[in-house]
A and B are shown apart, each in its own frame.
Chain A
Amino acid sequence: MDPSSTGIQEPFDLIRLSLSERVYVKLRGDREVTGILHAYDGHMNLILSDVEETIMIVDVDAPLEERRAVKMAKRKMEMLFVRGDGVILVSPPSRT
């Protein structure tokens, strides 16, 4: 089976492949999100379910030696709408 004959013409076609699959989304503001992609649009607005958001926090006020450790705050959401202007990248989750 020749996969490209099924018509991948634009980058969004690649995102389409990840529909109803778990995706990793990197967002602006040191956030990343993993969840099952349900829908997307031309603005890269995404609907994700079963989401885990990770926020990297660097305490600027802390002394230098402590600052190396980046704190991670995590939270889970059942369903999430991600506005497209914050999306940096969308990828299938890295598999081991």
Chain B
Amino acid sequence: MSFFGFEEGGLEHEKKKFLEGGLKESEDVAVYTWGEESYDGLGDALLEGGDELNDETFGATGAIGKDFDFSSQNLPVTSPSTGRVHDQHSRAIEQQPRERTPRIEVTGSSPSVQPHAPPADSLESIWDDKSPFAILSRMNGAGHSADHQRAPSASKSPFLPSATNDNRAIGHQTSIPQGVNHTGVRTLQEIEAEMHAIAQQSRISQRQELLRQEQLQQLRRQQEQQEHLRQNQLQQQDLLRLQQLQQLQQRTPPPRMLSHSQSPRFHAHQILQLQQEQERQQQHRLHELQEQLRMEELERHVRAQQVPAMQHQGQSLGRRQTSFNDLQAAQGVHQRRIHSPAFVDQQHTQNSQNAQLLPHNIQLQQRLLSEMAQAEFMRDMQGVSPAEQEQLRAEAMRKIMETERMEERRRRKAAKIAHMSRYNDLMTQSDKDFITRIQVSQLVTQDPYAEDFYAQVYGAILRSRLGLQSQDERVLKFGSGGGVGLGLAQKGGGRRQSAMQKMEAQVERIVSNARLREKEKGLHSLHSLQGALGKTSGRSYKAAPRQLLQVEAANATTPTMSGAHPHISKEDAIETNGEGAAREAAKLGREALGAAAGTDGVVKMEPLAQRQVLVILESLYDLVLSVEQLRRDQPPEEDEVAFNAWQMSYEDLTEQLWINLKVMVPLETSDPHPFVSLLTPAKGKKILPRLSRHISGPRMLTLLTLLVACFSQLDVFKQAGLLDSVEDTPERQEVDRQTQAFLGSVMQSILPVVAKAELRLVSGLLGLFLDRCDVVAAAQTKPGIAILTLFLSRVEVIKQNMSTVVDSPETPTPEEAQQWQLMFDHLFQLVAPHFLALFPSARLASALPLPSHGPAPPSSSLPTDIIDQPIWQFLAALALHASSEQQQILVSTLREKVLENVTSVSKGWVADEEEGELKLANVNLFLHALGLDSSQIEI
């Protein structure tokens, strides 16, 4: 062993490798040795390594040289008898390692050589301990347990008290060799007995000789006494030396003797060692069980053979001899297991530790074994052939192997599970709740519905599609604000449902807790504590960087004036005002002039800038969202207080909406009118249907009137010309997009208003329309045609109602009817010369370089027919209202167009069936209004 760590470490590493390798040999599964990384195997190294030379070192092998035998060397050989005794004793010592029991006799029998015996004896008893414990300890590597066992045996070694020698001498007297002279100290009894014997032997011997002999004996006794004294001294010296030696040994104990409790690493490695021991023991036991089985089998075999035929005994004995090793091993194991308390102890602890692992293992195997043994015994009794027995044995082995394999698999699984469940129950339920609370508190918002908007809406759509009762919102709410959006409804999840409920309970607890805390805070009066630790200076204004972009909350009248948003607002200003500064000055002057500047007392204002429009639109969207939210939160009407409060806030919000829409701004304030400006962006158009739901009927009428009055200001009117070009420019696309948005949103929202309008109103609107905008131009735009068609069809409905329902409140007065007729005539008069120009296809054709005559190219004919459809509809509506003269004008003007369509279909100039049908349908739409049909036309 080195004093330096690395060499030692190397040794240990090798040792560990060896141990692991050894383990792997017997265990083909991966060995799980978690937590044992730090195990250096020192204990085992000490136990198992470098013991080869121990016997040699301590003189257990071969004859012992006399170079250390101080006592005999120093002993003066006064008589040949003592020398002989000594020789005999040394021979006995030689025998001692092999035979234990005789040794005691010999040592006890010769008191004269006793002094030198103890060293040899004690040493041997220590180092060459062949007791079962010693064997066990070596086998098990359980050195420390063996130490305890050895302690009493060592105390039994006969060198210690000289007083016991007498007893032993007496006890062993009978075994004293006959011819040996009595030397050494003898008791009076001994001497008497001897004398007695001598007297008996030679009753007739001469007295003188006797006397002489007695004298001689006395002399010799004296000499012996002297010698004994010296020997005593020597013995004491020896004892001293032995003690020293023992002390030395204790200080640097040889590996196997090392007391673990003295080892500095003992405490660190004790547990690990125990684990390894257990592991080894487990294997050991398995092995043992196998051996036991084999032994039992053999025994049974023997018995079976003995029972039927005694003459086979010899043979069976021979067989027994052949498998003697097996038997011996098995018996050894047996004995060890039964007799060694250490083993029992360990087994006990192991059992208690691996309570669920091992007993099961053993039980399983034992049961299996007993079953097999029974079966086999039964068969043996009936006399089974050896071949069958072989087969049986193989079967048994196979079964055992299988069980082992299963067992191994099970163990591996258990280990895996243990590995995975390492951290089980690390957190208590309250820990988990705490974390859940933290997570859930992130989800709590003031407006759960809005936060979860898309999921809520999607869920509502899904539910309505599935035909489920529409449960308004799936949100969790808590008293005053705050809540959690629950997202989509879970489908049939029992576990999830309960989880949701658990979460709800959790959240409710959190919220109530938070409220409680707030209340407590309020009680403790936060203000009294404020500044208790000194005032924290706020912001150091010197240190604050100068802000390049200063966005002020409260701004001047217009962004162009304030210059707070130089980036965008200036651009807007330039866009709308042309030369910004000059216009600004002019505008300021106009405003200063006040009423005089505007017509009819209206203050003229610059039209809304693009950015202003966008800002207003955003605020409108915010308002619409909050109004919609408010609508969802409508309390039941029974709850008067709440309902009244709700109504108040609802009305307030709708009022704000109305104001922001700027419909009531005087017509002449600006061009375009602010409302029209708001309608310019696509999102402005798209917000109208959402707004119109919250705006009362009269207000919507006002809105409609404004729209009709300002139709010429609309972008869809102004830019409509772009749609007649065939070039696909971004601008055209943009106009197309805006037009679609207008038709889809704005028209959609005014449709119900018009549908309820009275004749008087419709004629008024038409009049306004004719008055304020170029009807011909308007009729060439999609929105214009749409509005005109809308008016005409409404009046047609009123007319039909007049004829069917006599006393309708809607029934217009004759004056109203007359007024309408006037308006219609005016319209017809204006539009009539441009009937053909109304068709977008015709306008497109004129824009095309191709001659407009003849069939249109097939590629473009289909879309033109589709875009022509509204015109045919308008013409049909016109025809319905028209007088006979007007109808004639209509027919004569449109004759060519109708004929063109019909002939192109009949002559097969169309690309496919669909196109032809479309053309005919368009024509018929118009002809049916006149009471005609395309089939009546003959070419």
Contact = CB atoms under 8 A, between A and B. Distances in A.
Interface of A: 1-11, 14, 16-22, 50, 92, 95
B552 A20 contact: no
B553 interface: yes
B681 A6 contact: no
A2 B555 contact: yes
B610 A6 contact: no
B553 A7 contact: yes
A27 to B, nearest CB: 19
B575 interface: yes
Interface stretch (B264-272, B614-622, B711-719): B614-622
Interface of B: 549, 551-555, 557-559, 562, 564-565, 568, 571, 575, 608, 610-612, 614-616, 618-619, 660, 662, 674, 681-683, 686, 733-734
A1 B607 CA distance: 11
B554 A16 contact: no
A4 B554 contact: yes
Contacts of B618: 6, 16-17, 19
A92 B682 contact: no
Contacts of A21: 614, 681-683
9 contacts: A1-B612, A1-B662, A3-B616, A8-B565, A8-B615, A11-B549, A16-B618, A20-B686, A50-B733
A95 B831 CA distance: 35
Given A17-B614, A95-B575, 9 more contacts: A3-B611, A4-B562, A6-B619, A8-B551, A8-B615, A9-B553, A14-B568, A16-B618, A19-B618
A20 to B, nearest CB: 4
A6 B553 CA distance: 9
Minimum-distance CB pairs A-B, first 9: A4-B555, A17-B614, A3-B615, A20-B683, A6-B619, A3-B612, A6-B615, A95-B575, A3-B559
Nearest to B549: A11
A7 B614 CA distance: 13
Contacts of B559: 3-4
A15 to B, nearest CB: 11
Contacts of B571: 95
B610 A92 contact: yes
Contacts of A92: 568, 610
Given A21-B683, A22-B734, A92-B568, A6 B552 contact: no
Given A8-B551, A20-B682, A22-B734, A2 B614 contact: no
Nearest to A20: B683
Contacts of B615: 3, 6, 8, 17
Contacts of A1: 608, 612, 616, 660, 662, 674
Contacts of A2: 555, 557
A89 to B, nearest CB: 11
Given A16-B618, A92-B568, A95-B575, A5 B555 contact: yes
Nearest to A18: B614
Nearest to A11: B549
A6 B564 contact: no
Contact of A4 (B553, B614, B662, B683): B553
Contacts of B564: 4
Contacts of A3: 555, 558-559, 611-612, 615-616
A63 to B, nearest CB: 35
Contacts of B549: 11
A20 B610 contact: no
A6 B551 CA distance: 12
A18 B549 CA distance: 19
